[in-house]
Structure 1
Amino acid sequence: MLVSLSIKNYALIDHLHVSFTNGFTVITGETGAGKSILLGGLALVLGKRADLSSLRDEEQKCVIEADFSIAKYDLISFFKENDLDYEENTIIRREILPSGKSRAFINDSPVNLSVLSALGDSLIDVHSQNQTAQLGDNAYQFKVIDGLAANGDLLREYANDWVLLKKESKALEKLIQAKQEGIKEHDYNTFLLQELENAPLKEGILEELEEQYEQLNNVENIMEQLSKGHQLLSDEQIGILHLLVELKQVSSKLAGYGSQFSALNDRVQSVYIEVDDIFEELGRLENKIEASPKVLEEVNTKLQLLYDLQKKHSVLEIAELIRIKEEIAVKVDATENIDATIKEKELVVKAKEKSLNNLCATISKRRKGIIPELKQQLETILGALGMPSAVFKIEINETSNFVYNGKDELVFQFSANKGSAFGELRKVASGGELSRIMLAIKAVLAKYEHLPTLMFDEIDTGVSGEISNKMGSIMQEMSETMQIFSITHLPQVASKGNHHFKVYKEDKDNVTHTKMKQLSAADRVVELAEMLGGKDLSDSAIAHAKQLLN
């Protein structure tokens, strides 16, 4: 419920503070008095974008503040989700600075416009003449039916699952596309992989093969040098080992004459041991080395394969070839196993579709179940509003595709007169008829769900006095369970209000100001009389005004 509205430095308003209570509140005033300014200010505090033209004094900031009682609106979760302090009396404030910047606050916590707008949608529904066009919008028609059918929770669950289905379906499409592209490359990748797997790829293999190649390719020279080295060491006359034996004898004889000679002897002994070991190693290598043209050819073949692969894949290291082999193996494996992956994803998609189909069936059943009652109530209310022949044709038909709110197609048609063909609301209903239909829909909705505060902006435009009297009664009846505002030019509607406010202009110091005041019982008589007969009050107009109020 809107408890109060405060507007400062907005359009023609210097400062305005108005308090409201529950029930039916009517707002009247001459054309141009500023009722639209009041609505504009309210729209700003509910999240509408603003500009500097909103400021009355461009050197001062504009401040609009609305106090709402929200205890009945079940908004605690909204406040938690947006990290806001929940208060049963919540204050929304909007500031427009001279710089053009705008700030918004909920219970003194700064928020962006999207959060402000989302909260505003839950607090007050401002219905203007332009919004009557929504009646012809299929989405709005679904919204009405789903509201009556209490499909809110089901539709939220459906929306979440629908997002998941689209995500899984997109993943499936990518897999199928990858399969089609993979088939083209599979044979080539398989060939590359086989080629790499046939190569002796391991760390250090290239150096190892190159060393082996050098030995095999120069085996005769190696054998010759080994033989020569062996001979130099073993010759009985001038062999190094023979000479070292004599040297050992000399150093041994010297060892007893002091530590320096003893150390020298140790060194000679070590040299002898090392040279003797070299002699043995030369012998082993000489016996081991042999010419093998076959092995040389095999080594050369492996080397050429590795060189060719390096050139083919534009790499310098065997490690890079190993990495490329692993990457190709992954591609080949993915292509070979993609059918199984696709099948698994298809099962996931089918499961999601089945779940959504079940939800859609429940949603559709509830929609169809509420239609007869909606049709009957709308036609009854419209009959009372001077449209006794008004008939609705509302049908729900299932389609094959999932859309944002299920799988249903809605046919919502109308005929205002007997014998007239059914047609879309926007095409066959006049402006006055649309206003009455909208009021009827709001009245029906009010019985089924706890609507926020409703503000009707001249919904009675284009209707006669007799019908407007009934429209006022319907709004008065709605106000028994919710707060209703009506901005009206019709005295019949204005007379039904529990509370009556007047918007007017006042000139002060050659400056025009928009004001708003609550009317007393006597003031209401005068206001209604002026609405009936103009500024020159006649006895009959005053009597008629009193009659309306009574």
Structure 2
Amino acid sequence: MLANLFIKNYALIDELNVSFTDGFTCITGETGAGKSILLGGLSLVLGKRADLSSLRDKASKCIIEAEFDIDRYGLKSFFGDNDIDYEKRTIIRREIQPSGKSRAFINDSPVTLNILTQLGDSLIDVHSQHQTLRLADNDFQMKVIDALADNGKLLYTYAEELDAYRKTSRALQELLEFQKQAIKEHDYNSFLLEELESAPLKVGIQEELEERYEQLNNVENILELLSRGYQLLNDEQVGVVNLLAELKQVSGRLSNFGNQYAELNQRIDSVFIEVDDIAAELQQLQGDTEANPRELEETNAKLQQLYDLQKKHVAADVSELLEIKETLSEKVQQTENLESDIQKKQELLSAQEKELDGLAASLSARRRKVLPSLKKQLQGSLSALGMPSATFKIDIYPSEGFKDNGKDSLSFLFSANKGTDYGELKKVASGGELSRIMLTIKSILAKYEHLPTMMFDEIDTGVSGEISNKMGAIMHAMSNTMQVFSITHLPQVASKGDHHFKVFKVEEDGTTRTKMKKLSADERVTELAGMLGGKALTDSAMAHARELLNF
């Protein structure tokens, strides 16, 4: 419910602060007084884009602030999802700077226009003559039918399933596209992988092979050096081992003369054992080392294979080749598993399609069930509004593919008079007829779902006095369950309001300003009399006004 509206520095409004309550509120005023300005200011806090031309004083900022009672609107999740503090009394504020920059706030939290628009759509439904064009929109017509059919929960379930179905469909399409490309690359990737798998790839293998190659390629030099080393240790005359043996004998005799000589003997003994062991190992290596042309060739071939692969794959070492091998293996494996993955996705898509078909069929059946009731209510209400011959032909038939709201197409045809052909609303209904049809539809919707505050902007234009009286009665009846505003120029409608505001212009200090005030009972009589008879307030006009107000 709109509880308060504050407007500053907007068009002809210098500053306006007005409070509203529930029920049916009528707003009147002479043409050009600023009723549309009031609505324009309100539209800014509902998310409409700002225009610098709307600033009254170009050097000051424009402020529009609206306070709403949202306790019954079920909007806590919206506030939570958008990280905004939830307040039962929520304040929406819009500021337009002289520079053209615009800022929006919900409960002092900065928000984007998109978020503001989403919230605004849940708070106020502004209905003007222009909005009657929505009547020709099949989506809007289907929403009306769904409201009567109480399809809300079913549509929510359908929407979730449709989202999952579309995601699966996209994933399947991506797999099929990938398969086309992968098949082209599969043979080449397999060939590269086989090359890498045939190579001796393991961490450190290149260093091992290079070391072994050096040994095999220099075997004669190695044997010569081993032989020379062994000779130096075991020569009968001057060999190190024989000399150390003699030294050991000397130190052995010295060890009898004290601990320091005994320790020296132990050290010499250790050296003798180590050198003797080295001599034995040199002899062993000499015996084990031999020329092996075949192994040399094989080792060289393996090294060359590694070098070629590194050059081919632009790899710095074997570790990078191993990474490339793993990547190729995954690609080849993925390609080989694609058929299985595609089949699984196709089976999932088929199951989701079956589920969606069931939900769509349920939606369709529930819609068909309420069509007679909808036509009866529409025709009955329009008859009371001066259209006794108005009839509708509403049909639902299957459509191809899944839509956002099911698998139904809708034919919503209208005839205003007996004997005339049925046609689409936008082609066969006049502006006045469209206004009455829209009012009727909104009044029917109000019975089946909780609508936000409804604001009718001169919906009664082009309507006669008696019909406008009935339109006013319908809007007043709607206000029993929701807050309703009507910007009107007809006294019959204005008289039905629980509250009556007048918009008027005044000239102050050579400047024209738009103001708004709530009328007292006596002021309402005067205002309605003026609407009935003009500026000259005749006795008959005053009497007629009191009659309209049941005074």
After TM superposition, the structure 1 stretch with the greater mean CA deviation from structure 2, 89-98 or 202-211, is 89-98
2:369 aligns to what SS in structure 1? helix
Shift, 1:86, TM fit: 4.4
Where does residue 217 of structure 1 map in the other structure? 217
Q: 1:530 to 1:263 in 2, by over 3 A?
A: same
Secondary structure at the aligned position of 1:291 is classed as: coil
User: Which range moved further: 217-226 or 457-466?
Assistant: 217-226
Q: Which amino acid aligns with 2:185?
A: E
Inter-partner Cα distance in structure 2 for 1:316 and 1:499: 85
Q: Secondary structure at the match of 1:65?
A: strand
| Alpha-carbon distance in structure 1 between the residues aligned to 2:79 and 2:233 | 97
* Distance in 2 between residues matched to 1:522 and 1:139, nearest whole Å: 46
Give the corresponding residue for 1:464: 464
| 1:356 has 2:356 as partner | yes
- Residues 469 and 301 (structure 1), Cα distance of their counterparts in 2 relative to 1, 3 Å cut: same
Q: Deviation at 1:407?
A: 2.0
Question: How far does the alpha carbon of each residue in 1:233-261 deviate from its partner, in whole angstroms, 9 at most, with x for none?
Answer: 33434444334433434444555567776
Q: Output the aligned Cα RMSD.
A: 2.6
Question: Does the residue aligned with 1:393 lie in a helix, a strand or coil?
Answer: strand
Distance 2:297 2:50 in 1: 86
* 1:504 and 2:504 correspond: yes
The equivalent residue for 1:448 is 448
**1:332-371 alpha-carbon deviations (Å, 9 max, x no partner):** 1111122222222223323332332232222222222222
CA drift of 1:31 comes to 0.7
Q: Which moved more, 1:8-17 or 1:182-191?
A: 8-17
**In 2 relative to 1, CA 541–343 (structure 1 residues): closer, same or farther, beyond 3 Å?**
same
What secondary structure, in the 3-state scheme, does the structure 2 residue paired with 1:158 have? helix
Matches within 5 A, 1:137-156: 137-156=137-156
5+ long unaligned stretches in structure 1 = none
Distance 1:41 1:184, change over 3 A: same
Q: Does 1:407 align with 2:407?
A: yes
In the aligned structure 2, how far is the partner of 1:252 from the partner of 1:20?
Answer: 120
Identity %: 66
Distance 2:544 2:40 in 1: 33
In structure 2, how many angstroms separate the alpha carbons of the residues matched to 1:92 and 1:214?
Answer: 83
Cα distance change, pair 457–286 in 1 and its aligned pair in 2 (3 A) = same
SS of alignment partner, residue 125 of structure 2: strand
Give the C-alpha shift of residue 540 in structure 1.
4.1
1:35 aligns with 2:35: yes
- Matched letter for residue 11 of structure 1: A
Specify the alignment match of 2:113 in structure 1: 113
User: Per-residue displacement from partner, 1:414-444 (whole Å, max 9, x unpaired)?
Assistant: 2222232222211221111111111111111
Q: Secondary structure at the match of 2:200?
A: coil
Alignment of 1:318-337 (within 5 A): 318-337=318-337
Give the structure 1 partner of residue 176 of structure 2.
Answer: 176
1:497 alignment partner, SS class: coil
Q: Deviations over 1:66-98 (max 9, x none)?
A: 333334333344344445554444443434444
Q: Per-residue displacement from partner, 1:44-69 (whole Å, max 9, x unpaired)?
A: 23332324433333444433333333
| In 1: Cα distance, 2:2 partner to 2:271 partner | 109
Residues 498-549 of structure 1 deviation map (CA, whole Å, 9 limit, x = unaligned): 3322211111221112122233344333333332332234444444444444
Change (3 A) 1:272 1:393: same
Q: Residue type of the partner of 1:433?
A: E
What amino acid is aligned across from residue 48 of structure 1 in structure 2? Answer: K
Structure 2 residue matching 1:411: 3-state secondary structure: strand
Give SS of 2:21's match: coil
Give the distance between the partners of 1:86 and 1:218, measured in 2 at CA. 85
TM-score w.r.t. length of structure 1: 0.91
Partner of 1:226 in structure 2?
226
**In structure 1, how many angstroms separate the alpha carbons of the residues matched to 2:66 and 2:95?**
12
TM-score (norm 2): 0.91
Distance 2:333 2:520 in 1: 86
Whole-Å separation in 2 of the counterparts to 1:137 and 1:428: 15
Distance in 1 between residues matched to 2:451 and 2:378, nearest whole Å:
18
User: What are structure 2's unaligned runs of at least 5 residues?
Assistant: none
What is the aligned partner in structure 2 of residue 158 from structure 1? Answer: 158
Cα displacement (A) at 1:445: 0.9
- Match for residue 127 of structure 1? 127
CA separation of 1:157 and 1:276: change in aligned 2, threshold 3 A: same
Read off the aligned partner of 2:379 and give its amino acid letter: E
Whole-Å separation in 1 of the counterparts to 2:313 and 2:53: 68
The worse-fitting range, judged by mean Cα deviation, of 375-384 and 82-91 is: 82-91
Distance 1:266 1:478 in 2: 116
Specify the alignment match of 2:383 in structure 1: 383
Q: Distance in 1 between matches of 2:94 and 2:37?
A: 15
Question: Is 1:207 the equivalent of 2:213?
Answer: no
Where does residue 277 of structure 2 map in the other structure? Answer: 277
State the AA in 2 paired with 1:382. Answer: L
